[in-house]
Amino acid sequence: MDATNSQDLFQRALKVIPGGVNSPVRACKSVGAAPLFIDRADGPHIFDADGNRFIDYIGSWGPMILGHRHPAVIAAISGVLNRGTSFGAPIDLEIRLAELVIDAFPSVEMIRMVNSGTEATMSAIRLARAVTEREMVIKFDGCYHGSADTLLVAAGSGVATLGIPGSPGIPESVAQRTLSLPFNDMACIQRVMKEQGEKIACIIVEPIAGNMGLVTPIVGFLEVLRELSQKYGSILIFDEVMTGFRVALGGAQALYGIRPDLTCFGKIIGGGLPVGAYGGRRDLMEHIAPQGSVYQAGTLSGNPIAMAAGIATLEQIRKDGFYESLEKKTERLSTGFADAADKAGIAAKVGHVGSMLGLFFTDQEVKNFDDAKTCDLDRFAGFYNGLRANGIYIAPSQFEVLFVSAAHQAEDIDETIRAAEVVLKELSV
């Protein structure tokens, strides 16, 4: 497959952009590949700078649940351009998007728009610290909540020891205010909250983890987080940046029937434009400036183009049957991958929730990050590169997920399964 133009563009990019990319995972380092530079996209397909067509299961890392260039989204963006691009002042569209999110998430009574998932989680934590007057934050190993200092923290040496910086440049003093515990370990969170609950401002969790591969909560785990945060006066934050409007119209909290105090959003609510949001209980959100004293701001928050794209997207996914149809396609793909691995005699765990699909090259059940790290990363790299050579575009990391969109047709799913069969057979020898 000719990649000359992508290679030339990458060499040029490397001279002026760190690693040649504006977000690290796009560099494809963990799978030993060079990034493809994308020229355009349409429906379930992307086309690279050399004109190669791929069936896309990254979907811009989640936002493109309708597929690329959905006519309603393009029309909404074009339409709003006649009004302008950014005013730095309130507009009607911000109210409409807020109402659409609140309508789908009963736990969200009030919401603030920002420009990324990182801003959403960072701000939700500042709010939790302000209202509880506590500093400690609990997160879970393998869960990713964006690149704010407080959340780029790895688990300490012992299970419940203070966090260690997940990146150079993060002060020890910041990292030590975050505890990172094993996901799905109820005994551990119960012990830590018993010992330190009064110091914990908030517990933040991906209710269905999508950044260590796809890892679902074991029965009772989310309920325990809800009970413990209630008992010790901590704020429960669901990071639904990925799962919100993805796994169900009401996100993971609808699937599991848990009412968090705050929820973070991103990705789909912007329909491919930069939008994040955090929202929840009114008595908490009223602390946010200018209504309250907790400061958070953003020049482009709520800008007309992003709001228009988000509104158009949510208006489409609210339609009857949208999620059922997505689920069917994803089920077909999941079964196809599992059968292909089986036929090739390769150990793989495949699962999905809604249109979020995970595939681990391991024979172990994956219930937390340590399990996920037992995966055969070389095999995943071979799978990624083999699929890419066959026109299938998945995330270049074992610790990501695949996203199916409404634009994927049966023939796309079937073509993907056929490619997986070929690639897995080659990998098995």
Catalytic residues: 144, 239, 267
Binding of residue 23 to ligand KE4 (CB under 6 A): yes
Q: How many Cα neighbours within 13 Å face the side chain of 203?
A: 30
Binding of residue 141 to ligand KE4 (CB under 6 A): no
Q: Which of 56, 94, 141, 206 binds ligand KE4 (CB under 6 A)?
A: 206
Q: CA angle, corner 96, sides to 353 and 226, nearest 5?
A: 45
CB 66 within 8 A of CB 309: no
Q: Closer CB to ligand KE4, residue 274 or residue 336?
A: 274
Q: Which of 145, 352, 367, 388 binds ligand KE4 (CB under 6 A)?
A: 145
Binding of residue 159 to ligand KE4 (CB under 6 A): no
Binding of residue 400 to ligand KE4 (CB under 6 A): yes
Least distance in angstroms from the C-beta of 212 to ligand KE4: 10
Q: Which of 10, 144, 183, 380 binds ligand KE4 (CB under 6 A)?
A: 144
Nearest to 204 by CA among 127, 276, 274: 127
Binding of residue 333 to ligand KE4 (CB under 6 A): no
CB 375 within 8 A of CB 362: yes
Binding of residue 30 to ligand KE4 (CB under 6 A): no
Which residues share a beta bridge with 180?
A: 139
Q: Which of 107, 123, 132, 211 binds ligand KE4 (CB under 6 A)?
A: 211
Residue with tokens 């928050």: 301
d(CA 136, CA 182): 17
Q: Which of 20, 35, 117, 142 binds ligand KE4 (CB under 6 A)?
A: 117
d(CA 408, CA 414): 10
Binding of residue 118 to ligand KE4 (CB under 6 A): yes
> In the 8-state DSSP scheme, what is residue 288?
B
Q: Are strands 53-56 and 45-48 parallel, antiparallel or unpaired?
A: antiparallel
Neighbours of 75 (CB within 10 A): 12
Least distance in angstroms from the C-beta of 153 to ligand KE4: 14
Stretch that binds ligand KE4, among 170-178, 218-226, 236-244, 297-305 (CB under 6 A): 236-244
Q: Which of 97, 241, 311, 402 binds ligand KE4 (CB under 6 A)?
A: 241
Amino acid at 429: V
Q: Which of 175, 222, 242, 247 binds ligand KE4 (CB under 6 A)?
A: 242
Query: Helices 304-317 and 322-344, interaxial angle, to 10°?
Result: 80
**Site of interaction with ligand KE4 (CB under 6 A):** 23, 25, 61, 116-118, 121, 144-146, 206, 210-211, 239, 241-242, 266, 276, 400
